[in-house]
């Protein structure tokens, strides 16, 4: 059983800086809950009981909020570790700070600027597949609507080899293009990876192999790309609503979806 989950929340939040106005992006709300709250609930609902929040010294409000929520949980139900990235320098550099926490065990990886709505939770489904196959696995979604595609970042495009009804081997991951939105071919559904994964501890070995020179930002897409090239990354297609709330269009869609859910309830 996988117990450990890393929640990477140390980023700058430049895409939504006009909305956050100096606050951490993880404290932006959708459905009356901050983005970090959605990630925290997803991790706990997936059964992870040891959580590592990768934060930064610039985000005391987020840390205080998470600490207060965790303090209200039943004793022994979950534990929280916080590590801080002194300077935002890329997602891989943030995840690396959790290396001691992971300590050679498989772990889930979540990014709170993506709200993922699914039952059962996507990380729980990934963990179940990982338990059988022992290979790092990323979540995969189908992009159907042009409006949905326009609200997604450009990352996550990949070449896939089908292994089963919903299981794929990731053969190649396209390089991330800063500022580009996801291209949407009309009437042609497309599959794309999104930031939910369960990773074998070898992830850190791959991280070491693609580490850039000191002072350069270190994005996790380079790590996943190498894993894919060497046949060490799989993907599970899941039915989920995914909102890239780290950009204004995605946040608007997330808020609209939450309002719709409340009306249905």
Contact status, residue 210 vs residue 140, Cβ threshold 8 Å: no
Point out which residues pair with 159 in neighbouring strands: 172
Q: Which residues contact 201 (CB under 8 A, 6 or more apart)?
A: 102, 104, 105, 106, 107
Q: What angle do CA 196, 67, 29 make, to 5 degrees?
A: 60
Where is average pLDDT lowest: 66-80, 94-108, 174-188? 174-188
Residue 40: give the domain boundaries: 4-264
Domain CATH for 140: 3.90.550.10
pLDDT at residue 22 in the model: 62
- pLDDT tens digit sequence for 119-160: 999 999 999 999 999 999 999 998 866 556 555 665 678 889
Collapsing DSSP states into helix, strand and coil, what is residue 196? strand
pLDDT band at 171 (very low <50, low <70, confident <90, very high): very high
Above pLDDT 70, what percent of the chain? Answer: 85
**How many structural domains comprise the chain?**
1
pLDDT band at 201 (very low <50, low <70, confident <90, very high): very high
Contact status, residue 51 vs residue 43, Cβ threshold 8 Å: yes
């Amino acid at each position: 059983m996988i117990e450990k989950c890393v929640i990477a929340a140390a980023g700058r939040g430049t895409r939504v800086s006009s909305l956050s106005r100096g606050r951490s992006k993880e404290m932006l709300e959708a459905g009356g809950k901050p983005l970090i709250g959605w990630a925290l609930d997803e991790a706990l609902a997936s059964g992870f009981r040891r959580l590592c929040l990768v934060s930064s010294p610039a985000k005391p409000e987020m840390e205080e909020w998470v600490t207060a929520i965790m303090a209200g949980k039943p004793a022994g139900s979950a534990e929280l570790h916080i590590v801080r990235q002194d300077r935002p320098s890329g997602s891989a550099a943030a995840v690396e700070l959790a290396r001691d926490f992971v300590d050679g065990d498989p772990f889930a990886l979540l990014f709170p600027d993506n709200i993922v709505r699914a039952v059962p939770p996507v990380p729980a489904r990934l963990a179940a597949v990982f338990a059988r196959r022992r290979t790092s696995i990323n979540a995969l979604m189908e992009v159907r609507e042009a409006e949905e595609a326009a609200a997604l970042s450009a990352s996550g495009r990949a070449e896939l080899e089908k292994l089963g009804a919903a299981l794929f081997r990731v053969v190649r991951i396209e390089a991330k293009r800063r500022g580009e939105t996801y291209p949407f071919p009309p009437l042609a559904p497309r599959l794309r990876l999104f930031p939910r994964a369960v990773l074998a501890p070898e992830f850190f070995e791959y991280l070491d192999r693609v580490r850039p020179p000191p002072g350069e930002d270190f994005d996790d897409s380079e790590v996943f790309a190498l894993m894919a090239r060497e046949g060490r990354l799989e993907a599970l297609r899941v039915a989920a609503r995914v909102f890239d709330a780290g950009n204004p269009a995605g946040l608007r869609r997330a808020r609209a979806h939450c309002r719709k859910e409340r009306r249905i309830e």
